[in-house]
């Protein structure tokens, strides 16, 4: 596993805690990248310390740009209460980035190669690359930071940054949370996330409770005083991903010093916070000495990544939940055309789907249409948008509905787990453990689901009927997809979406919340075109389907539904493409 | 579970159960929440925190790389 350990350098009362973080890292022989703010570069004592850290220990000196611009130049040109970099207008972004680079050059005598910000939108990356082409790498996003953290701070944390990769990536020019499809599509700066997040619990809950940041776990009450195995469990979970990604995995620790003492969301005494931070670094140092971890400076990692990880390489993450002890598995797949989450606990339903292939352009800032919302839009987000039915009708999700006589069972009520992951030239194959379903007349069946992620915006979904207690029973199955689009938990305007079905009675409708259902015999393709996010989504039968339909929603259930109907018989399989595309 | 010491800045345990960080204010010996109606002593709050931790059934359980492979 590769590690970047990052410390932010800023002036003020917490400076002694930065020195404490540095002492821990140096005592343990870990490589540190220091992210120095503009305000810190005006303090000669801090600058002397930073230069000394570089000379004595080799620490890389980078530029922190998310906050801390206070300087005579900033006060004269912009002033006012401080805003995060990515929220200023274009002219102000350019001024601040230029100011940071100028201060850096004057202070350290060279240009920075590494930069940090919590989010670094497309306008910021373009300006940064122009002004300072030496920048190779940037902390440029926080995995799934958005709605849940907003709520968790009593609706006050306006950082909407969902739908991004969980590890290093090549940010795309039109939306920096989307991985670039090729060199021309890339901003020229490698992105790394701010912290390595728990890919089960950051989906279900707050990413700032469950991350490579011991104080985050303390914030989530996931330690008991000095007892904090979760911090090591999460680290090992990232190491585990090497087994599915050609031996590669990445972890970073970027804890601001304020978390080590007096933070209002931490109820443990300061000595506990400091010990837990030290413990995590000790564990990382131990892994390094064992040869199980390679710590690098950020620019050093950028060179390694560029040489070893080609643009557009698909990645997966098998998330095993390790704090509640639920034994749940989630499976994540990522390539330049999509990010998708398979929720095996719901029979293998898709719980989150981001159609990168649509290349929805997004930038943040006071002069941008998206303002503070930098997330990549979803087509399915089961936690925000209802998912399986609890009170009323279901919402965004996929499933298989199996019918016997007049009873229909929903695969999402069956717990499954990841049975096998195989990756080769044809793509990434994911096989789940069989789902066992029991009908009220005593009929019992088991169904196996296979996903094949082939790239190009396509997922092949195969269902196999492995067992039936009565082989003469007649069974039908519906491949079922309910979608929407959005960036938060609130519904967006669905008008303008078109739904269509082919087959014997081909039909099409424009979404008007009219509750219409269009059915067609021998339909092989059911499609939704969502111009709002320049994307389309379709189910296409590979095994011939009997029929299909599209269903428009209503204001109390603002979704669209795509369905293909199949016969299900023992020993045979039904196969369907889920295809994403760009659309206007 | 072991007893733990707390700092004096507290978050409301009821709001925390909704994954919301709300800092409590102090009124005499009691803390109170301005977001909800919770109020209680430091001991009561510490007890609520320990109750909240019960959801993490593996909070004291180390899961090694070898165990992850078979989990
Ligand atoms: Zn409260």
Domain boundaries, chain A: 2-197+249-260+293-311, 329-582
The pLDDT value given to residue B3? 55
B59 vs A270: CB contact, 8 Å cut-off? no
3-state class (DSSP) for residue B50: helix
Structure tokens at A370: 């998206």
Question: Looking at CA atoms only, how far is residue B13 from chain A in angstroms?
Answer: 11
A268 vs B6: CB contact, 8 Å cut-off? yes
Residue B19 near chain A (CB below 8 Å): yes
In this predicted structure, the answer to whether residue B9 has a pLDDT above a threshold of 90 is no
d(CA A103, CA A108): 8
Residue B7 near chain A (CB below 8 Å): yes
Find the residue in A nearest to B57 (Cα).
A324
What is the DSSP annotation of A304-341? HHHHHS-TT--EEEEEE--SS----EEEEEEETTEEEE
The HSE-up count of residue A187 (CA atoms within 13 Å, CB side) is 33
Which parts of chain A sit beneath pLDDT 70? none
d(CA A38, CA A72): 11
Residue spans of the domains in chain B: they are 13-70
d(CA A436, CA A74): 64
Asked if residues A98 and A72 have their Cβ atoms less than 8 Å apart, the reply is no
B19 vs A148: CB contact, 8 Å cut-off? yes
Question: Looking at CA atoms only, how far is residue B23 from chain A in angstroms?
Answer: 7
A322 vs B63: CB contact, 8 Å cut-off? yes
Structure tokens at A515: 């509750």
d(CA A462, CA A451): 6
Give residue B1's pLDDT band: very low, low, confident or very high (50, 70, 90).
Answer: very low
Residue A153 near chain B (CB below 8 Å): yes
d(CA B2, CA A565): 56
The pLDDT value given to residue A6? 98
How far is the centre of ligand 1, averaged over its atoms, from the C-alpha of B32 (Å)?
A: 8
Q: Which of A210, A214, A233, A274 to mutate to test the interface with B (most CBs of B within 10 A)?
A: A233
- B-chain residues near A225 (CB < 8 A): 2, 4-5
Residue with tokens 């992850």: B68
CATH fold, domain A2-197+249-260+293-311, is TIM Barrel (3.20.20)
How far is the centre of ligand 1, averaged over its atoms, from the C-alpha of A152 (Å)?
A: 12
**Predicted TM-score (pTM) of this structure:** 0.97
In this predicted structure, the answer to whether residue B7 has a pLDDT above a threshold of 80 is no
Question: Looking at CA atoms only, how far is residue A436 from chain B in angstroms?
Answer: 20
A267 vs B6: CB contact, 8 Å cut-off? yes
How far is the centre of ligand 1, averaged over its atoms, from the C-alpha of B15 (Å)?
A: 4
Residue A233 near chain B (CB below 8 Å): yes
CATH classification code of A329-582:
2.70.98.10
Q: How far is CA A369 from the centre of its chain?
A: 23
């Amino acid at each position: 596993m590769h590690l970047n350990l990052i410390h932010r350098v800023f002036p003020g009362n917490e400076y002694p805690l930065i020195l404490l973080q540095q002492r821990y890292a140096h005592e343990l022989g870990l490589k540190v990248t220091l992210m120095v703010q503009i305000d810190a570069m005006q303090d000669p004592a801090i600058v002397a310390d930073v230069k000394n850290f570089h000379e004595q220990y080799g620490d890389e000196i980078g530029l922190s740009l998310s906050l801390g611009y206070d300087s005579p130049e900033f006060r004269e040109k912009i002033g006012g209460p401080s805003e995060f970099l990515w929220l200023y207008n274009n002219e102000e972004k350019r001024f601040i980035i230029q100011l940071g680079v100028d201060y850096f050059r004057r202070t350290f005598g060279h240009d920075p190669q590494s930069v940090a910000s919590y989010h670094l939108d497309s306008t910021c990356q373009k300006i940064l690359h122009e002004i300072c082409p030496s920048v190779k790498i940037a902390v440029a996003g926080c995995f799934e930071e958005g709605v849940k953290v907003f709520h968790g701070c009593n609706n006050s944390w306006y950082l909407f940054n969902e739908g991004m990769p969980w590890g290093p990536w090549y940010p795309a020019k039109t939306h920096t949370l989307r991985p670039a499809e090729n060199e021309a599509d890339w901003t020229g700066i490698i992105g790394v996330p701010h912290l390595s997040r728990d890919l089960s619990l950051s989906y279900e809950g707050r990413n700032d409770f469950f991350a490579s940041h011991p104080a985050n776990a303390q914030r989530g009450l996931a330690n008991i005083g000095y007892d904090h195995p979760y911090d090591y469990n999460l680290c090992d979970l990232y190491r585990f991903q090497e087994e599915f990604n050609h031996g590669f995995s990445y972890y970073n620790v970027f804890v601001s010093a304020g978390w080590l003492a007096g933070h209002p969301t931490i109820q443990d005494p300061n000595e506990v916070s400091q010990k837990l931070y030290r413990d995590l670094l000790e564990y990382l140092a131990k892994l390094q000495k064992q040869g199980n971890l390679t710590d690098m400076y950020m620019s050093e990692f950028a060179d390694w990544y560029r040489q070893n990880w080609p643009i557009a390489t698909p990645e997966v993450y098998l998330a095993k939940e390790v704090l509640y002890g639920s034994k749940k598995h989630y499976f994540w797949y990522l390539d330049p055309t999509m990010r998708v989450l398979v929720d095996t606990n719901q029979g293998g339903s898709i719980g989150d789907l981001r159609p990168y292939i649509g290349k929805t352009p997004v930038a943040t800032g006071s002069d941008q249409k998206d303002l503070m919302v930098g997330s990549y839009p979803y087509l399915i987000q089961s936690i925000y948008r209802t998912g399986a039915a609890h009170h009323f009708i279901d919402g965004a999700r996929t499933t298989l509905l199996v019918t016997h006589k007049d009873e229909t069972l929903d695969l999402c009520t069956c717990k499954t787990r990841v049975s096998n992951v195989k990756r080769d030239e044809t793509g990434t194959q994911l096989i789940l453990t069989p789902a066992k379903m029991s009908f009220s007349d005593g009929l019992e069946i088991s169904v196996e689901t296979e996903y094949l992620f082939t790239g190009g915006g396509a997922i092949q979904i195969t269902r196999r009927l492995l067992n039936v207690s009565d082989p003469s029973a007649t069974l039908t199955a519906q491949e079922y997809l309910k979608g929407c689009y959005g960036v938060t938990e609130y519904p967006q305007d669905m008008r303008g979406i078109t739904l269509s079905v082919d087959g014997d009675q081909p039909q099409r409708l424009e979404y008007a919340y009219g509750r219409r259902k269009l059915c067609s015999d021998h339909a092989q393709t059911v499609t939704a075109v969502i111009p709002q996010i320049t994307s389309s989504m379709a189910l296409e039968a590979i095994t011939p389907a009997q029929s299909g339909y599209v269903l428009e929603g209503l204001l109390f259930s603002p979704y669209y539904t795509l369905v293909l109907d199949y016969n299900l018989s023992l020993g045979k399989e039904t196969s369907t493409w889920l295809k994403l595309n760009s659309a206007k | 579970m072991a007893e733990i010491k707390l700092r004096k800045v507290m978050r409301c345990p009821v709001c925390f159960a909704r994954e919301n960080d709300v800092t409590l204010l102090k009124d005499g010996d009691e803390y109170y929440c301005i977001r909800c109606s919770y109020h209680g002593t430091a001991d009561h709050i510490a007890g609520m925190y320990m109750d909240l931790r019960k959801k993490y059934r593996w909070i004291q359980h180390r899961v090694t790389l070898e165990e992850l492979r078979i989990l």
